[in-house]
Amino acid sequence: MAVAGQEVELQITAKDEVSNEAPSSTNTMSIQTPPTKHYQWWLRVAIYIFFLLAGQATATLLGGLYYDKGGNSKWMATFVQSAGFPILIPILFFVPPSIKTATSPPPTFTLGLLYLFFGLLLTGDNLMYSYGLLYLPVSTYSLLCATQLAFNALFSFLFNSQKFTALIINSLILLTVSASLVAVNSDSDNSSNIPKGKYIIGFFCTLGASAGYALYLSLLQLSFEKVIKSDNFRVVLEMQIYPSMVAAAGSVVGLFASGEWDGLTMEMNGYEKGSVSYIMTLLWTAIAWQICSVGILGLIFEVSSLFTNVISTLGLPIVPVLAVIFFGDKMDGVKAIALVVAVWGSVSYVYQHYLDDSKLKAKKRLIVSANDGCDNA
C-alpha cells in the first residue's frame, strides 16, 4: 500500500494504476525519493520477510512436535498462537508515536472495534488451524496452507481492487490441483493411524483456516489504507498486540468452557519429552508465531496483503521437507507432485508481481520524462 514518503515500487494494489490519471505532485515526489530512504525501505522489507519465513517454519514444526509427543489440547494450541504478544509490548516504548499527517487519527472507538473484530477472527482461525495440525501430518498440513494464496486472490479482488490476470488464474488452478492431490492421497496419510473421519475434519479445517486468514490479511490491508492511514511502525505493533490480546482471551475462555483445562496437568506429566520440554515447546511456539505475525503485518504495511501471501507461500517447501526429516512424514509420489504444483502456482504469482513492478517502473520513467519536458519547455 502507498505510505507517505516511502518507496512503493512493490505495491501491487489498485493504487499502482494511479498513472491512468494525470501525473500528480505526489507521484513526482515518490519518484524523487532519496536513495537512502529507498535502501531503508528494502532493508525493512527484507527483515519482515525473514521474520515471516523463520517464524512460520519454526512455529509450524513446534506445533507438530507438540501433538507428536503427546499434546492433545486444541485450545492450548490455539492459545499459544496469540499468547506471545507481551514480548512486543516493550518495543512500543522505543517506537515514537505516528508523525502528523493530513488526516486525523481514527476515533478510539473505531480502533477498539477493529481490534475486537480482528481478535475474534483470529481466535476462530487459529482454532481451525489447530484442528488441522492435530489431524493431519505436518507435510500435508503445510501443502494445504498453500491454498491461502488462492483465497487471498479472491479477497484481494473483492476488497483491495486486485485484478485477475492469466498468470493469477493459472496460479489459482495449480493451487487447487495441489490441494485436490492431497485430498485424494488421504489413504497414504492414513497409514499414520489417523482415522478417515478425523483426516477429513483436519482437511476442511485447514482449508477453512486458510480462507479465514486470507480474509484477515485483505481486511488488514483495507484497514491500513482506509481507517488507520498512518506511516509509523507503531501502528503495526498495535495492530498485532491488541487483536492478539483479544484472541488470547477468547482462547482462554474456550480452554475453560471445553473442559480441556482440567487435563493440562496430566498432559504435561505424560509428555514424552518431559514437563520442561512441554513448557518450552509451548513457549517457543508462542514466540515464533509473534515473530511471524510481525513479519506479516510489516509486509502488509509496507507492500500489500497479496505480496505477503506470496512470500508466505514461497516458504512452502521448507516445512514439508523438515517434517519428513524430523517427524518421519511420508513424502510419496503424489505428495511430491502436489508440492511441485504448489510451488509452480506460487512462482506464477511471483512472476506476475515482477511484471507489475516492471510496468510501474516504466510508468514512473514516463512521468519523469514528461516533467523534464515541461521544465525544458
- Whole-number pLDDT of residue 4: 35
Residue 30 above 60 pLDDT? no
Cell of 267: 498432559
pLDDT tens string 107-136: 889 999 999 999 999 999 999 999 998 888
Instruction: Name residues whose C-beta falls within 8 Å of residue 338's C-beta, 6 or more positions apart in sequence.
Output: 143, 178, 179, 181, 182, 185
Q: How confident is the model at residue 209 (pLDDT cuts 50, 70, 90)?
A: very high
List % helix, strand, coil for the chain (3-state, nearest 5). Answer: 80, 0, 20
The closest alpha carbon to 337, from 204, 184, 192, belongs to 184
Q: Considering only residues 102 and 109, tell me which one the structure prediction assigns the higher pLDDT.
A: 109
- Whole-number pLDDT of residue 327: 66
How high does pLDDT run on average in the chain? 77
Ordered DSSP codes for 227-273: II----HHHHHHHHHHHHHHHHHHHHHHHHHTTGGGGHHHHHHT-TT
Percentage above 90 pLDDT, the chain:
21
Q: How confident is the model at residue 32 (pLDDT cuts 50, 70, 90)?
A: very low
170-177: average pLDDT: 76
- Whole-number pLDDT of residue 26: 33
Q: Considering only residues 37 and 143, tell me which one the structure prediction assigns the higher pLDDT.
A: 143
* Exposed/middle/buried for residue 226 (C-beta within 10 Å: 0-12, 13-18, 19+): exposed
Residue 189 to residues 71, 136, 161, 327: CA-CA distances in angstroms? 20, 8, 39, 13
Residue 63 above 90 pLDDT? no
Residue 188 above 60 pLDDT? no
Rounded Cα gap, residues 248 and 123, in angstroms: 7
The highest-confidence range among 175-184, 202-211, 321-330, by mean pLDDT, is 202-211
Residue 186 above 70 pLDDT? no
- Whole-number pLDDT of residue 192: 56
The closest alpha carbon to 309, from 177, 179, 151, 123, belongs to 151
pLDDT tens string 347-356: 787 787 678 7
What residue ranges in the chain does DSSP mark as E strands? none
Length of the chain: 377
pLDDT tens string 301-341: 787 766 777 777 666 666 767 777 776 666 677 777 877 88
The Cβ of residue 264 has, within 10 Å, a number of other Cβ atoms equal to: 16
Instruction: Please check whether residue 286 is in contact with residue 83, taking contact to mean a CB–CB distance below 8 angstroms.
Output: yes
pLDDT tens string 243-273: 999 999 999 999 999 989 988 999 999 998 8
pTM equals: 0.72
